[in-house]
């Protein structure tokens, strides 16, 4: 059965509205269900209206699959907490829920990044040129994605050791916390950027060659000029 071109993703404190293929809801997923054609999906605008639900639109995201392009309107329903709606975390593991809904819910999970501004006694900032990922070929601050069970203060220290081969201690300064969605795919990134002091030389580093091609010290102005990441620029402005 074909899927509507535009649907509405309504979420209220972990509860999500699903309907069946005829637009009747709310419906509940079955965790671990397999070998079924999708029978549950997000409602259309008309189906939301038919239930008398008013919502505040937050954003509109684009999902592109091999069979076409779909739009998902993300909104907050202006109703009491809907205890009869589906738990968000129960939807991903049900093959009976359409991939459009599962993909949209997957994208709604924040991607967490932990980074660090490392300065020496000359007030220079250490940056690394990366070989892979979003900023391949460009200069970035040390750091990266946090592990699932990892605190951000641990993540940036671990990443710096892995990428540059140096052990650092963070200062007591509060991190710069930034959040941004960069395109219409709707993925939200959150960055925690800390500060550290290190006075070693470039010869003291051991670069992770498959990921880092170079490292260098820059003045604050030079670091800002070379930074291509919004999160790096904001942190350098604050910590630099």
Structural domains of the chain ordered from first start: 6-107 (no CATH), 111-239 (3.90.79.10)
Q: How far is CA 106 from CA 37, 100, 185, in A?
A: 20, 10, 11
Q: Would you state the pLDDT for residue 2?
A: 84
What's the predicted TM-score (pTM) here?
Answer: 0.86
Sign of the CA dihedral 39, 42, 45, 51?
positive
CA separation for the pair 144, 46 (Å, rounded): 42
Reading the block at residue 225, the tokens are 């000029």
DSSP reduced 3-state for 11: strand
DSSP reduced 3-state for 237: helix
Q: Would you state the pLDDT for residue 209?
A: 87
Q: Are 143 and 133 in contact (CB under 8 A)?
A: no
Q: How far is CA 79 from CA 47, 51, 55, 76, in A?
A: 16, 12, 8, 9
CA separation for the pair 240, 238 (Å, rounded): 6
**H/E element, 99:** helix 99-107
CA separation for the pair 218, 233 (Å, rounded): 13
Q: How far is CA 172 from CA 83, 101, 169, 229, in A?
A: 42, 42, 10, 24
Q: Would you state the pLDDT for residue 135?
A: 81
Q: Would you state the pLDDT for residue 236?
A: 96
| pLDDT block averages, 10 residues each, the chain of length 240 | 92 97 96 90 98 96 94 97 96 95 95 97 95 85 94 97 96 96 93 96 91 95 95 90
CA separation for the pair 65, 68 (Å, rounded): 5
CA separation for the pair 97, 203 (Å, rounded): 54
């Amino acid at each position: 059965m074909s899927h509507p071109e535009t649907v509405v993703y309504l979420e209220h404190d972990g509860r999500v509205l699903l309907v069946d293929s005829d637009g009747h809801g709310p419906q509940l997923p079955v965790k671990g269900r397999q070998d079924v054609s999708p029978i549950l999906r997000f409602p259309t605008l008309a189906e939301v209206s038919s239930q008398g639900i008013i919502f505040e639109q937050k954003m509109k995201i684009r999902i592109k699959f091999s069979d076409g392009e779909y739009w998902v309107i993300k909104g907050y329903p202006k109703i009491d907490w809907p205890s009869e709606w589906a738990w968000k975390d129960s939807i991903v593991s049900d093959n009976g829920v359409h991939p459009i809904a599962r993909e949209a819910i997957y994208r709604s999970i924040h991607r967490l990044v932990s980074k660090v501004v490392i300065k020496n006694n000359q007030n220079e900032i250490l940056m690394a040129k990366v070989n892979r990922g979003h900023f391949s070929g460009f200069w970035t601050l040390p750091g990266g994605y946090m592990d699932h069970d990892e605190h951000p203060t641990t993540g940036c220290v671990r990443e710096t050791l892995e990428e540059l081969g140096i052990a650092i201690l963070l200062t007591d300064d509060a991190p710069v916390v930034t959040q941004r969605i960069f395109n219409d795919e709707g993925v939200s990134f959150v960055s925690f950027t800390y500060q550290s002091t290190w006075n070693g030389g470039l010869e003291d580093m051991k670069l992770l060659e498959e990921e880092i091609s170079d490292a260098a010290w820059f003045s604050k102005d030079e670091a800002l000029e070379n930074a291509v990441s919004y999160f790096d620029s904001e942190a350098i402005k604050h910590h630099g």
